[in-house]
Amino acid sequence: LLTSLLPWGKISDSTGHKKIFITMGNFTSGIFFLLIGMTVSPMIILFYRSMQGLFSSMSTPAASALIVEISNNSTGLYFGIFNSFSEFGYTVGSLTGSLVVLFFHNDPRYIFLISTFLFLLSAIISQSIIKEKRSKIDRRKIPFPTFRHEGKPGRFPLNIKDAINIWRTNRNVMLASLAVFFTMTASGEVYSILPVYFSNKFSSEWVGFLYGVESISIVIFMPVFGILADKLKAKYIMAAGIFGYIITFILYSNINSPQLMILAEIISGFKWSAFIVAASTYVARVAPKEQEARAQGILNMAQNMGWVLGPLITIPVILNYSFNFNFYFSFIFVIIGLSISIILKNEK
């Protein structure tokens, strides 16, 4: 996923087409979920997951660029709506998955079958309903076998020069992605172990409920911050969202009642909504013209790299110290991200 976001974004920008990448990303995700559900070998599952990440990532930067294309002067609102539906899907999916496993007597294969159906359905919907500005497409640049070029797919190498070029030509994309990287490192450091922390501190029954509260909070606040990002400077909302991580982690560390922890989860959804909507809106406004998908791809890469690094940091911290120390240790990365977001240039 990390290595393929940028090249897919580049191809989407160069061809001008977006919905085909969204469609194929959803379609391939469904196919690989079907294959995973039919497999028992860990090594084969690992291979399928790698391929799923490679091909499903074609939809991420294309979807962000499509939002920029159709939103006109309401980019923040559109990102807010998009992310709200995404989070609502995660919420419904988590609940549905639990019910499916319970109904089918802990047989997870049915989850993969249902996921395959939903991904294929979303591919049909995106291809048949989504409208985009038409532009001539050079099919030799599409890195997926078509009937016209069957057996001769285009190349899709990771071109680090593209990322470096965008960074050099647009300092604000670079700084925004760095702010996201450091903030998501703190996020990965905390949220990778949060279910264990909740389970130990309260009970396992509270874990799903508290995560559900956070998801509902995100669904509610995403459109709100989308509107605010359109009316105000997105960088300030982004900084406020990053500061919200400090408040949230302090509450996680000090609250000893599961009922009061509901408040912390509401604030957690609040700060995530502000942060992610504002970051996407900011990059959409400062990205070079016709490089929007690549810029969003860089932002998504920074986000995922932070989530990779964070859990690697938290393991030695918890083993040598404690859960509470891990919360406060993450402040180092939050403060770095906050400092970078403050010095961002105001977008137009």
177-216 per-position pLDDT tens digit: 999 999 999 999 999 899 889 989 987 668 767 877 888 8
Question: What is the model's pLDDT at position 254?
Answer: 96
The pLDDT tens digits for 232-245 are 889 999 999 999 99
Considering the entire predicted model, what is its pTM? 0.68
88: pLDDT confidence band, cut at 50, 70 and 90? confident
Question: What is the model's pLDDT at position 179?
Answer: 95
- Cα dihedral 174, 178, 180, 185, rounded to 10, equals 160
What phi, psi does 347 have (nearest 5°)?
-75, 160
Share of the chain above pLDDT 90, in %: 29
pLDDT over threshold 50, residue 140 = no
As a whole number, the mean pLDDT across the chain is: 79
pLDDT over threshold 70, residue 130 = yes
3-class DSSP assignment, residue 155: coil
Cβ neighbors of 265 (< 8 A, separation 6 or more) are 210, 211, 213, 214, 217
pLDDT over threshold 90, residue 260 = yes
Question: What is the model's pLDDT at position 222?
Answer: 83
Question: What is the model's pLDDT at position 149?
Answer: 31
Question: What is the model's pLDDT at position 267?
Answer: 95
Question: What is the model's pLDDT at position 111?
Answer: 83
| 130 vs 149 pLDDT, higher one | 130
Q: Which of 151-160, 305-314, 324-333 has the highest mean pLDDT?
A: 324-333
Cβ neighbors of 16 (< 8 A, separation 6 or more) are 133, 135, 136, 137
Tokens of residue 226, six digits: 């989308």
Q: Which of 65-74, 88-97, 125-134, 302-311 has the highest mean pLDDT?
A: 302-311
pLDDT over threshold 90, residue 176 = yes
Q: For the chain, what percentages of helix, strand and coil (3-state, to nearest 5) are there? A: 80, 0, 20
Question: What is the model's pLDDT at position 161?
Answer: 62
Whether 299 contacts 177, CB under 8 Å:
yes
